[in-house]
Structure 1
Amino acid sequence: MLKIGLQLYTLREELEQDFEGTLRKVAELGYAGVEFFHFFGRTADEVKELLRETGLVALGAHRPYDAMLNDTEQEISYNLAIGNRNVIIPFLTEEQRNWEEVAANLRIIGEKCKAQGAVLSYHNHDFEFTEHYGERTAFDGIFEEVPADLLQVELDTCWVHFAGYDPVEYINKYAGRLPIIHLKDLKKREDGSPETVVLGEGEINLAAILEAAAAAGVEWAVVEQDYCSRSPLESVSDSMKWVKTYANQGGKVNV
């Protein structure tokens, strides 16, 4: 059964104003875990205590590529101290996208993570599918070049769809190397740009993604909404309502 987490970037403004109170609200909504992107100046002990109090699991953390390259030991030790093993590189700027260099650096970072008992993953957007690494998409290229024991996949299924590929096919392709997926919905604006929306309000076949993820042995489905047209807390609450409805209809999610 898939566990349901929340990528806290969705609540970035709320966290900046009230880090502790916002995490308590996330737990009240029924999310089992959280994926961090920033710690807002809190010590590892403070974060660990808040997780203990709320019962939330630190399922992962998005950490900047530069930080993972230059402050690797510090990043790993902080995350292990809060009880998180999954350190995830979430985004590359255009200047950083020398894919051969990226693959070499991911291997180095992955080896350091593995040596300390952490797991390195890479999270995609759409550009990994529109840019190339040799004859391959950049996405397939980096995961072919870096072995699975040094780099896991965090598949953002929404961006796979937006790039014109089938998320279910990619879940199946990377089964066994895919501990976490991002579950998000979108609709296209008139100009073709993506608008992220509450689960069930867009064009993504979420049920098919969750079924494939459960079959592929994925542990966590992480809800994320990059930008919200209504209150972010209301949005993540409504997305959880969709998940609970799906679960009540026999979906393989644990809520």
Structure 2
Amino acid sequence: MKRRAFIQSSASAAAGLMAIPALMQTLSGCQSRKDSVGLQLYTLRDTITKDPKGVLQKVASFGYKELETFAYGDGKIYGMPFSEFGDFVKSLGMRVTSGHYGLDLAKADNWEQAVTDAKSIGQEYLVVPYIQDTERKSIDDYKRICESLNKAGEVCNKHGLRFGYHNHAFEFEKFDNQIPYDVMLAELDPKLVGMEMDIFWVVNAGYDPIQYFEKHPGRFEQWHVKDMDKTDRMRNADVGTGTIDWKGIFAKADKSGMKHFYVEQETYPGEPINSTDASIKYLKTIL
């Protein structure tokens, strides 16, 4: 082999070897996303409080690996000590990555106890999911709420956890020609508060999630994934059967900064447990 040909061949081989780690990282990322589909347990709110262990076993059998909780209070959840709940989830091959907590608790003196309980089971995020309508009558109200959220985030940061805020559609109802959600993105410190985007509610409000990803890259660390019924915009459909372009949205996951995502449904075409199963089956075909 001539020297020039040998050098070119060697360079090509070296370039190929250098590309392998990047390729493996890409493949690993795709694989891990498919194998880490999450569920917000509020989807099964009518049954989990009655038979938490039975419901969790069913969820695990569908292939869910990550869970987001609701209804934590005084060190307990779904009628059992929080630590017992965490241990049982782990025994099923799942993990609790996030939980929803009321704004009142996030502002209360016992907020730190909720944070330390979350850390004790390996949870990563604590999220406020709702603002009562009596607390959001003006842009100034939203700004005051953001101050409280930033303070709650400081407590989470102190313990090595992340704090977040989850939207509905009301954050897009304008006051004085301002969109409250945009105000919140400006007022919330990204070092203290990450955003959990409920994609259904953004679309329902008439906005494009991808435009938000492009404008605020890296801010949307968690997602709620629920589809929109084709005939009634206020109702959910099983993921993959409605009007939302999930392939297009998941293609922008890295831009958004998404680390975890959770199927969540508030309304159902049939039984909630069947929607839970159908939604993960669809997601695994596109991830």
Query: How high is the TM-score relative to the length of structure 2?
Result: 0.80
**Alignment counterpart, residue 68 of structure 1, candidates 101, 106, 110:** 106
CA contact (8 A) 2:70 2:101 kept: yes
SS in 2 for 1:136: coil
Where do 4+ consecutive residues of structure 1 move more than 4 Å? none
**Alignment counterpart, residue 160 of structure 2, candidates 109, 117, 120:** 117
1:177 aligns with 2:219: yes
Q: CA RMSD in A?
A: 1.6
Q: CA deviation at 1:202?
A: 1.3
Segments of structure 2 that go 5 or more residues without pairing to the other structure are: 1-29, 72-76
Please name the residue that 2:196 is paired with. 154
Please name the residue that 1:209 is paired with. 249
Distance 1:57 1:169 in 2: 31
Max Rg structure:
2
Letter of the 2:93 counterpart:
G
Distance 1:131 1:46 in 2: 44
CA contact (8 A) 1:154 1:180 kept: yes
Judged with a 3 Å threshold, the aligned counterparts in structure 2 of structure 1 residues 116 and 172 are, in CA distance, closer, same or farther, namely: same
CA contact (8 A) 1:158 1:167 kept: no
1:37 aligns with 2:37: no
Q: CA deviation at 1:187?
A: 2.1
Q: CA deviation at 1:188?
A: 6.0
Segments of structure 1 that go 5 or more residues without pairing to the other structure are: 247-252
**Alignment counterpart, residue 145 of structure 1, candidates 181, 184, 187:** 187
SS in 2 for 1:149: coil
Query: How high is the TM-score relative to the length of structure 1?
Result: 0.90
Per-residue CA deviations over 1:113-170 (Å, capped at 9, x if unaligned) read: 11121211000001111134x6531111112112101110101111110111101111
Please name the residue that 1:6 is paired with. 39
SS in 1 for 2:224: strand
SS in 2 for 1:58: strand
Per-residue CA deviations over 1:30-62 (Å, capped at 9, x if unaligned) read: 111010012213212201211220111211001
Distance 1:125 1:166 in 2: 14
1:89 aligns with 2:128: yes
Pick 1 or 2: higher relative contact order, CA cutoff 8 A, min separation 6: 1
Distance 1:23 1:9 in 2: 12
170-179 vs 66-75, greater mean Cα deviation = 170-179
Judged with a 3 Å threshold, the aligned counterparts in structure 2 of structure 1 residues 105 and 215 are, in CA distance, closer, same or farther, namely: closer
Letter of the 1:239 counterpart:
S
Letter of the 2:205 counterpart:
A
Please name the residue that 1:53 is paired with. 91
Please name the residue that 1:250 is paired with. none
Distance 1:128 1:188 in 2: 23
Give identity over the alignment, percent.
31
Judged with a 3 Å threshold, the aligned counterparts in structure 2 of structure 1 residues 84 and 179 are, in CA distance, closer, same or farther, namely: same
